[in-house]
Amino acid sequence: MKSLKIGNTFIFMIILAIFITAISMNALIVSASPENDSVGLYLEKYRPQFHFSPERNWMNDPNGLVFYNGKYHMFYQYNPYGNKWGNMSWGHAISKDLVHWEHLPVALRPDKLGMIFSGSAVVDKHNTSGLFKEKPGGLVAIYTSAGETQQQSLAYSTDDGVTWTKYEGNPVIPNPGIEDFRDPKVIWYEKEKKWVMLLAAGDHVRLYSSKNLIDWEYMSKFDEGAHGGVWECPELFELPVNGDPNNTKWVLQVDLNPGAVAGGSGGQYFIGEFDGKTFINDNPPDEIRWVDYGKDFYATQTWFNTNNRKIWIGWMNNWEYAEFIPTHPWRGAMSLPRELTLKTIPGEGIKLIQDPVIELQAIRQRPNEWKDQRIIPGQNILSDMNSNTIEIRAEFEIGSATEFGFKVRKGKSEETIIGYNTDRNQLFVDRTNSGEDQFHEQFAGKHTAPLHPVDNRIKLHIFVDHSSVEVFGNTGERVITDRIFPEPSSKGVELYVENGDVQLLSLTVNELDSIWQK
């Protein structure tokens, strides 16, 4: 009996052990599965490691960008139920440094007026709206209700943007009979102590003003520039020229889809004056200034309430193929946040300069540096580098070469070329052989931007992530943003030169930390 008892206990212990092992194995399998673990999720093929992307589902435009109580808020067009556009809501994330993001619950969901399309958010600190009964003021979101028609609505939050109450008098701007009537961007015009709203209305931008965010008065319209497609997501802000606070200009930015410089959707900007009522372009109406010469920078918006800094971020995608890019279970990523300034470029006038925000320096790993080296064809000083998350800063003095630059995400049969053509004075990103591109015929291609050397020198500042490249030419004068979908094993980097030599004055390459993995 005794031995039988021991035998029973023994068998029971073995069964228990098998059971516990099975449970924990299962738990392991479950938590390693991308679908079930938010850390595992950020390890999928093509998942950007230092760019924002939602854990799962579809994302497009940044919305409601506002700095409030020490946090940068980023809302975004989001489908909570699928990996394609639909059920448009506002997703929400916050950051203390514009680099690391924390996901928060969906902030705004469709209602009887329709889906929640793009819009902006402001800090109504003096309660001009009268919406804040208990607290002195709070956040107000101004967005497009997209139902049978498109109209503008408000919501307000008293808990730092986590939960929102829709204004009961919505819409605050009903549809006047214009089909495409959306994307309100609201700014505070200090001189007249009033709110100004820009709205995309088909082929033009409309400007409205209000004292209380609720009653809006039409002021003027702006319709110069490129018109290859419908206008969307306008922006308006003031910046000093060449850092001089006594000499400022206004920038009006608007996106169009299609008809942008690289095909499909993209942005254009204008520089001029704004008197509180009308925007006057300083330049000829048909002179186009493109925001980005790549295919994947759209619907950019600036943060409200960042004092003397102007920072914007864009959706790294193009409506031409947005719903087909091969990522799962999420679709859509944001660009790096970029700080904006205005600078006079000899022969070109005042230009908008975009620089990745300095906060990104925090994720740099140890630098690899080179100085003063003549580069000739056939040698690759970066042959030891192997990474799919890198930042490259380089300055070249042009020599006899017709082309030079970097090949990144290089594998056996694929590479993305970021180069400069000295005959054409052209910066380019060539993704014709960058990886997976069969999902859409308009994806593969080469995107070029005019870029003139300064004192015979060219500067390149490049960010390469798992599925994107952002190239800033000559300190942010020209930008090319492109998605790429190479194999994860394609990690090679090459500094190349063709038909002659180039003098490498300085080169720093940093691998970058993931913002998602601890």
Nearest distance, CB of residue 64 and ligand FRU, angstroms: 12
The DSSP annotation for 379-395 comes to --TTTT-B-SSEEEEEE
- CA Rg, the chain, in Å? 25
Nearest distance, CB of residue 141 and ligand FRU, angstroms: 13
Calpha distance 17→40 (Å, rounded): 27
Closest CB to ligand FRU among 180 and 487?
A: 180
157-176 mask for ligand FRU (x: CB under 6 A)?
Answer: --------------------
Nearest distance, CB of residue 89 and ligand FRU, angstroms: 10
Which residues inside 329-368 make contact with ligand FRU, applying CB under 6 A? Answer: none
Active site annotation includes 61: yes
CB 370 within 8 A of CB 393: no
Nearest distance, CB of residue 91 and ligand FRU, angstroms: 12
Closest CB to ligand FRU among 77 and 153?
A: 77
Calpha distance 299→315 (Å, rounded): 6
Calpha distance 411→478 (Å, rounded): 28
The active-site residue out of 61, 255, 296, 482 is: 61
Calpha distance 234→224 (Å, rounded): 13
Based on the shown chain and the rule CB under 6 A, indicate whether residue 151 belongs to the binding site for ligand FRU. no
Closest CB to ligand FRU among 179 and 192?
A: 179
Cα(first)–Cα(last) distance of the chain, in Å? 55
Based on the shown chain and the rule CB under 6 A, indicate whether residue 296 belongs to the binding site for ligand FRU. no
User: Which of 144, 300, 302, 416 lies at the binding interface for ligand FRU (CB under 6 A)?
Assistant: 144
φ, ψ (nearest 5 deg) of residue 38: -70, -20
Based on the shown chain and the rule CB under 6 A, indicate whether residue 88 belongs to the binding site for ligand FRU. yes
Nearest distance, CB of residue 146 and ligand FRU, angstroms: 7
Closest CB to ligand FRU among 79 and 388?
A: 79
Based on the shown chain and the rule CB under 6 A, indicate whether residue 299 belongs to the binding site for ligand FRU. yes
Residue count, binding to ligand FRU (CB under 6 A): 12
Closest CB to ligand FRU among 48 and 264?
A: 264
User: Which of 117, 132, 164, 279 lies at the binding interface for ligand FRU (CB under 6 A)?
Assistant: 117
Based on the shown chain and the rule CB under 6 A, indicate whether residue 77 belongs to the binding site for ligand FRU. yes
Burial (CB count <10 Å: 0-12, 13-18, 19+), residue 143: buried
The dihedral over CA atoms of 270, 276, 277, 281, expressed in degrees to the nearest 10, equals -20
Six-digit token string for 284: 């000829």
Question: Hunting for tokens 């190479």 — which residue is that?
Answer: 486
> Which amino acid makes up residue 378?
G
Handedness of CA 210, 266, 358, 342 (dihedral sign): negative
Task: Give the residue numbers annotated as catalytic, written as ranges.
Answer: 61
Q: Which residues bind ligand FRU (CB under 6 A)?
A: 60-61, 77, 88, 117-118, 144, 182-183, 232-233, 299
